Amino acid sequence: MNGSLSSIGLVVLFVLIGSVFVAAETALVSLRDSQARSLAINRGRRGRIVAGLNQDPNRFLASVQVGVTLSGFLSAAFGAATLADDLAPYLEPLGLSTSASETAALIAMTLVISYVSLVFGELVPKRLALQRAESFALSLGPLIDRMSRLSRPVIWLLSLSTNLVVRLLGGNPEAKREQMSDEELREIVGSHSALGDEERQILEDVFQAGDRQIREVMVPRTEVDFLDASAPVHQASRQAISQPHSRYPVIRASADDVIGFVHVRDLLDPDVVDRSVRVGEMARDILTLPWTRPLLSALTDMRREGIHLAVVADEYGGTAGIVTMEDLVEELVGDIRDEYDVEESETTRHLSGDVEVDGLLNRDDFEDETGIELPEGPYETVAGYLMSQLGRIPRPGDVVELEGHRITVLTVEGRRVSRVRVTVAPPPAVAEPV
């Protein structure tokens, strides 16, 4: 009896030893690089050990597998061999022969030990290690590190063999784990229970902004209020205070010749307003950005330089429009309005289901308002799409059909489509049988 208890105790011990290695492997493998770096900075020596193991997975994986394999082998082989002999005599009264009872006892003990090993040596430690990866990594990391040092020759041989097989299978032994994709990161953010709806929306806007260029959010040159560099300050000040802007780009002969910008406070300075000072003499330097500059990159540049207004240049060097710090920030946090902003509704919804929108609405905003996705093309706005489809300057009444909808040009200002209506196209007429 004492021998059986000793054997059971040894089996339990081997299973527990195996569970330690399994938990260590799971914790270290599931640990993200950012978590490992944080542990190295904030958790002292243990944190640095964990970060070192995280950077060299071959070393700790080989150590762990040696421990798991040995403990599993010893628990199964030793336990089944010794406990089966103790169990066999209890099966003979059931009518089994001596050889049959020994075989049945061996099979039974193997199944029992396998079950115990699977539950307590594999599944439970893995589940716990996944739930508390940092804690398990800090607790078991030094043990794995010490074992890897002691068994370095064995690990070297195993690593060499592993690298050889990986190369034969077409893999790269030096490759790191795959980086998290944008879609995976968005899914994590969207499903994180600690984030509220507002926080999720802001983060989603940041992800979307990362894919956009400033030409998608700029104010086109046709909508920009420029100041003539040769205009007297007193004349320019009257023009400036009639508009809701605080900064104005200054031009010479045309909108393609922007020499700087002025702040409305410069124009209202009592020291210059009564003198014959020209606007061009007061112009400050202005930042010029290519219209393909990523939105977040442009925001970083403007924040670093302390600039609130920039000129957007097209591929030919001409002025495509302007972009402000407020325009870029609004892409992240939504509309920002002050007491001087004019409340203009760009979208009108009719009871019939028709929707009227501004012709300068960009593709993403148009999809948000109407649910219709404009196809990819050499344009950024609804007006650009209509011009591309018609092959000419649109006129009021022009109609373009898309995805079962009709986009009708309502008004045109100069050569720019200012207003369009989106309606559901009627189904095609079916000829009645004669």
The region, left, alpha or beta by phi > 0 then psi within -120 to 50, assigned to residue 176 is beta
Residues 303-358 pLDDT 10s: 998 889 999 998 888 999 999 998 888 888 777 766 555 555 567 888 777 888 88
Q: Do 218 and 320 touch, CB atoms closer than 8 A? A: yes
| Structural tokens at position 149 | 């040092």
Residue 315: count other Cβ atoms within 10 Å of its Cβ.
9
For the segment 208-267, what is each residue's pLDDT rounded down to a tens digit?
Answer: 777 788 888 888 888 899 999 999 888 888 888 888 888 999 999 889 999 999 999 888
Q: pLDDT by residue (tens digit) across 147-201? A: 888 777 877 887 788 788 888 888 777 666 666 666 777 776 666 666 777 777 7
Strand blocks (E) in 221-376: 227-228, 247-251, 258-263, 287-290, 309-313, 319-324, 348-349, 355-358
Domain identity same for 127 and 99: yes
Residue 349 confidence (pLDDT):
80
User: Which 3 state secondary structure label does DSSP give 6?
Assistant: helix
The pLDDT assigned to 434 comes to 47
Asked which of 30-44, 72-86, 255-269 is least confident by mean pLDDT, the reply is 72-86
The residue type of 420 is V
Of the candidates 260, 256, 216, the one whose C-alpha atom is nearest the C-alpha of residue 367 is 216
- The torsion angle over the Cα atoms of residues 295, 296, 301 and 306, rounded to 10 degrees, is 100
In this structure, the answer to whether residues 152 and 116 fall within a common structural domain is: yes
For residue 94, give both structure tokens.
């059931």
Segment 404-430 shows an average pLDDT of 80
> For residue 285, what pLDDT is reported?
92
The verdict on 146 and 232 lying in the same domain is no
Tens of pLDDT, residues 252-294: 988 999 999 999 988 888 777 566 788 888 899 999 999 889 9
User: Is 188 domain-assigned?
Assistant: no
Q: Are 264 and 183 in contact (CB under 8 A)?
A: no
Rounded to an integer, what distance in angstroms lies between the CA atom of residue 345 and that of residue 4? 84
Q: Is 360 part of a structural domain of the chain?
A: yes
20 and 140 fall within a common domain: yes
Whether 49 maps to a domain, the answer reads yes
Per-residue pLDDT at 322: 93
What proportion of the chain, given as a percentage, has pLDDT over 70?
A: 85
Q: Determine if the pTM surpasses 0.85.
A: no
CATH code of the domain containing 329: 3.10.580.10
Residue 209 belongs to some domain of the structure: no
Count helices and strands in the chain by DSSP H and E runs: 18, 12
Same structural domain, 275 and 230: yes
Domain count, the chain: 3
Residues 307 and 250 in one domain: yes
**175 domain-assigned:** no
pLDDT digits 0-9 by tens, 91-140: 767 767 777 777 777 777 778 888 888 888 888 988 998 888 888 888 88
Do the domain assignments include residue 402? yes
* Domain of residue 254, residue span: 214-333
Same domain, 353 and 294: no
Span 354-363, mean pLDDT? 85
In a domain? residue 431: no
Domain contains 236: yes
Are residue 40 and residue 134 in the same domain, yes or no?
A: yes
Q: Residue with structure tokens 């190295």? A: 40
Which residue bears the tokens 């492997």?
25
The pLDDT of residue 287 is: 92
Do both 220 and 317 map to the same domain?
yes
In angstroms, what CA-CA distances link 422 with 216, 246, 360, 394?
21, 35, 14, 15
**Do 284 and 353 sit in the same domain of this protein?**
no
Clarify whether residues 368 and 325 are in a common domain.
no
- The CATH number of whichever domain residue 381 belongs to comes to 3.30.465.10
| Both tokens assigned to 276 | 């014959």
